[in-house]
Amino acid sequence: MNMWDRAQQALMESMSRLLSQVASLLPGIVALIVALLISALVAWILAVVLRRSLIGIRFDEHASRWGFSSLAEWSPSKSPTLLVTRVVSWLIILFGFLMGIASFDATLTSQLARSMFAYLPNVLGAVVVLLAGNIIARFIARSVLIGSVNMNLQYARLLAVGVKWLVNVLAVAMALEQLRIGGGIVNLAFGILFGGIVFALALAVGLGSKELVSRSLEREAAKNAGNGVEEPFRHL
Amino acid sequence: METESIPQAARERIDRIATADLMVGVLADHGGAASAMVRQALEKLPPVPRTVIIQANGIGGADGKDGGKAADAAEASEDQAVFVVPWTLLEPDKSIAPVENMANAYQTVLAAGDKLGVQAACVIGSDLQTVTPQWIARLVQPVLQLGFDLVTPCYAHGRFEGLLNNCLISPLARALYGARIQNPMGPDLGISRRLFQRIIAPEQGAKLAANRTHALASMAPTAVCSGFKICQAHVGVRLYPPIDWTNLSSLLVQVLGPVFGDLERSAACWQKPRESVPIPSFGERMALSEDKGLVDVGRMLELFRLGARDLLEVWGLVLPPTTLFELKKISSLPQEQFRLPDELWAHTVYDFALGHRLRTINRDHLLRALTPLYLGWVASYALEMQNATVRTAEQRFERLCLAFETAKPYLVSRWRWPDRFNP
């Protein structure tokens, strides 16, 4: 056997090995495609059923009434129903994808699944922190707004928006910490941002808005003094 | 029954007295001055009923620790028909809201009355400075001698006194329950045994606790809805506490929370009456000296305008767009033209009552957000009435009550179909 024959044989063997490996992958690819198609179909059917059910029970109105009005702002087309159906659909497609991957190599899938499941609590924790932070921020902002208006403070809205963003920034930093994204950078950035906001407010009050604040305080003091005249109004 | 809330010393004293026909509870602390006044009042009610007076003695604490000594002193000085139970009814704890404190005191006084088996109870919640023996007699007499179940007070007040009652509580109660009661929440009331038993009954008590309502807010609605006999007595001038601007919104929360909560409880009852009817009145109306003169409404107007600028988003959660548009338009009027129409005010109150029921937003937020609107109406009323007489002011309140009655179908429709009916 000359050298050419040997090379040809080696080439044929490698080709047959490659083809056999490709052939061994083919069922897996087909299985992945089938799994994706089936999961997409199931996801679509479930999404339709779920959407109709949620519309039937007026989920959007109830969500708003239960105090989850912020959910609408996070949702596509301002509809929490759509948000829920899309989340469910994508979860089913993800499940189908994992099933399809398992048809290639069980060990690879188990490793992937293990790492994904290990990370899942962090994701859920971050979502909960973000949602809770958003709800708390809105609640506190509304309390500050109503309280400030009732105290006749002209900058009530500014105060409320400031409080809302402070709580939101805090919630985002906590969520990123939970996701283990950024690590020290997030802490540092949050510290700089939070400190910066407080410092900027202090400067604004101390320098830029000195006149405004002093005028406001003087006006309040004058009101409380009542110009020495007792008001005739008695409420209860 | 809430007899556990009665201090030990007072409870022992009540046990020794055993029975009585009448009980008079005085909430304000005037160092025992109340008993003399009640004795004078009883002389107007021959034959003198066997009476128990519960009053703060200036010695005993709310916990009743020193109440024993005071009780002994009271026991030594009393006659056969009148007994004094020294007991500080209002909790000195400042963390308890004043209105809630008063309602709790009512509840425990009535529980004590039930324990004694009295036929009538009279609770004096006003400051004693203007209370007279005649005042107490007029609240008690219709219950003891004429068979009425609830005697509410009619005070002689100035144009700008009792505003929360006159522009909201009274018109609301009149329109909804169909009885023209001037002061449905007292705070000075004469109550029959069968009515206070209904108020403090365990099943009712459980509901009250669950709904966070109190005896004061439920008294008149319970009496009307249960078919009890109600009347009112012209008692005289009442001393109204001065305005506390920093706590005005808290006051609204304390008063309107239970009132709106009670609407939910008695919804089946108040949806029936189509119009209001007058109730019997006793005593002569007292004429009050006219206090004409300009009033400064600048602060109230400023607060209303600030609310219309910054709270529209919050108001928009409970008020329909037409009302919001009207409010916005009114907020831009100059002071001399500023008027908040009665119809708009009535619709606003009804929308807030519905928002309270549906929990559209946090109830505390909702009621506090009403403060600028309330002050807007008060400012409008004050501008209109600054040169008016007390009589004209009364006619003005009568027109407001009629506006509430006219707007009642709006509330009924929205209450029944909150999702469908939203003009």
Give B290's pLDDT tier (boundaries 50, 70, 90).
Answer: low
**Chain A contact for B153, CB < 8 A?**
no
Q: Is the pLDDT of residue A149 over 90?
A: yes
Q: Is the pLDDT of residue A29 over 50?
A: yes
- Please compute the mean of the pLDDT values over residues B109-129 and round it to a whole number: 88
Give B75's pLDDT tier (boundaries 50, 70, 90).
Answer: low
ipTM of the complex: 0.85
Angstrom distance (rounded) from CA B308 to CA B303: 9
B31 or A13, higher pLDDT: A13
Burial grade of B83 (CB within 10 A; 0-12, 13-18, 19 or more): buried
**Chain A contact for B379, CB < 8 A?**
no
- Coil, helix or strand at residue B79: coil
DSSP state letters, B27-45: EEE-TTHHHHHHHHHHTTS
Q: Indicate the CATH number for domain B3-282.
A: 3.90.550.10
Average pLDDT, chain B: 84
DSSP one-letter code for B75 = H
Which residues in chain A (37-66) have CB-CB distances under 8 A to chain B? 58, 61, 65
B22 beta partners: B51, B120
Q: Are B306 and A156 in contact (CB under 8 A)?
A: yes
Instruction: Name which of B161, B303, B365 is nearest A234 (Cβ-Cβ).
Output: B161
- Please compute the mean of the pLDDT values over residues A197-203 and round it to a whole number: 78
Q: Is the pLDDT of residue B13 over 80?
A: yes
> In the Cβ-directed half-sphere of A2, how many Cα atoms lie within 13 Å?
1
Q: Is the pLDDT of residue A81 over 50?
A: yes
Chain B CB contacts of A152 under 8 Å are 299, 302-303, 306
Chain A CB contacts of B358 under 8 Å are 65
Q: How far is CA A27 from CA A18, A31, A106, in A?
A: 15, 6, 14
- Entry field: residues in chain A: 236
The reported pLDDT for the residue numbered B70 is: 52
Q: Which residues, including other chains, have CB under 8 Å from residue A83's CB and lie 6 or more apart?
A: A71, A74, A75, A76
DSSP one-letter code for B243 = P
Angstrom distance (rounded) from CA B74 to CA B56: 12
Chain A CB contacts of B369 under 8 Å are 146
B174 or B239, higher pLDDT: B174
Q: Is the pLDDT of residue B63 over 80?
A: no
Q: Which residues, including other chains, have CB under 8 Å from residue B40's CB and lie 6 or more apart?
A: B133
Does B365 contact A150 at a Cβ distance shorter than 8 Å?
no
Q: Is the pLDDT of residue B97 over 90?
A: no
Q: Is the pLDDT of residue A50 over 60?
A: yes
Helix, strand, coil shares of chain A, percent, nearest 5, are: 85, 0, 15
Angstrom distance (rounded) from CA B368 to CA B374: 10
Chain B CB contacts of A139 under 8 Å are 362
> Which of B168-177, B266-275, B293-302 has the least mean pLDDT?
B293-302
Residue A218 C-alpha, separation from nearest chain B C-alpha, in angstroms: 14
Angstrom distance (rounded) from CA A129 to CA A170: 10
B156 beta partners: B237
The pLDDT tens digits for B151-171 are 999 998 888 888 999 999 999
The reported pLDDT for the residue numbered A191 is: 81
The reported pLDDT for the residue numbered A173 is: 86
Residue B232 C-alpha, separation from nearest chain A C-alpha, in angstroms: 18
A125 or B89, higher pLDDT: A125
Give A69's pLDDT tier (boundaries 50, 70, 90).
Answer: low
Q: For A61, phi and psi rounded to 5 degrees? A: -65, -45
| C-alpha dihedral (B40, B46, B51, B53), degrees to nearest 10 | -20
- Coil, helix or strand at residue B175: helix
Chains A and B form CB pairs within 8 A to the count of 88
Domain ranges of chain B: 3-282, 297-415
Nearest to B62 by CA among B25, B1, B103, B105: B105
Q: Which residues of A81-116 are buried (b: 16+ CB within 10 A; e: fewer)?
A: bbbbbbeebeebbeebeebbbbbbeeeebeeeeeee
Q: Is the pLDDT of residue A224 over 60?
A: no
Q: Are B153 and B131 in contact (CB under 8 A)?
A: no
Instruction: Name which of B165, B306, B368 is nearest A156 (Cβ-Cβ).
Output: B306
A170 or B202, higher pLDDT: A170
The pLDDT tens digits for B233-285 are 999 888 887 767 668 899 899 999 999 999 988 899 999 888 899 999 998 88
| Residue A228 region by backbone torsions, left for phi larger than 0, else alpha for psi between -120 and 50, else beta | left
Nearest residue of chain A to residue B355 (CA atoms): A65
Angstrom distance (rounded) from CA A70 to CA A64: 8
Give B329's pLDDT tier (boundaries 50, 70, 90).
Answer: very high
Structure tokens, A49? 């059923």
The pLDDT tens digits for A89-135 are 998 998 888 888 777 766 766 777 778 778 888 988 998 999 899 88
Q: Are B202 and B209 in contact (CB under 8 A)?
A: no
Q: Is the pLDDT of residue B67 over 60?
A: no
Q: Is the pLDDT of residue A227 over 90?
A: no
Q: Is the pLDDT of residue A213 over 80?
A: no
| C-alpha dihedral (B344, B348, B350, B353), degrees to nearest 10 | -170
Give A222's pLDDT tier (boundaries 50, 70, 90).
Answer: low
> In the Cβ-directed half-sphere of B252, how many Cα atoms lie within 13 Å?
24
> Which of A175-179, A199-203, B58-62, B128-132 has the least mean pLDDT?
B58-62
Q: Are A186 and A177 in contact (CB under 8 A)?
A: yes
> Which of A176-180, B32-36, B78-82 has the least mean pLDDT?
B78-82
Residue A95 C-alpha, separation from nearest chain B C-alpha, in angstroms: 38
Average pLDDT, chain A: 82
The reported pLDDT for the residue numbered B305 is: 95
Q: Is the pLDDT of residue A53 over 70?
A: yes
Residue A213 C-alpha, separation from nearest chain B C-alpha, in angstroms: 17
Q: Are B124 and B24 in contact (CB under 8 A)?
A: yes
Structure tokens, A91? 């979860």
Q: What angle do CA B222, B162, B186 make, to 5 degrees?
A: 30
The reported pLDDT for the residue numbered B64 is: 44
Does A142 contact B314 at a Cβ distance shorter than 8 Å?
yes
The pLDDT tens digits for B339-396 are 999 999 999 999 999 999 988 889 999 999 999 999 999 999 999 988 888 888 889 9
Does A235 contact B365 at a Cβ distance shorter than 8 Å?
no
**Chain B contact for A234, CB < 8 A?**
yes
Angstrom distance (rounded) from CA B228 to CA B222: 8
Give A37's pLDDT tier (boundaries 50, 70, 90).
Answer: very high
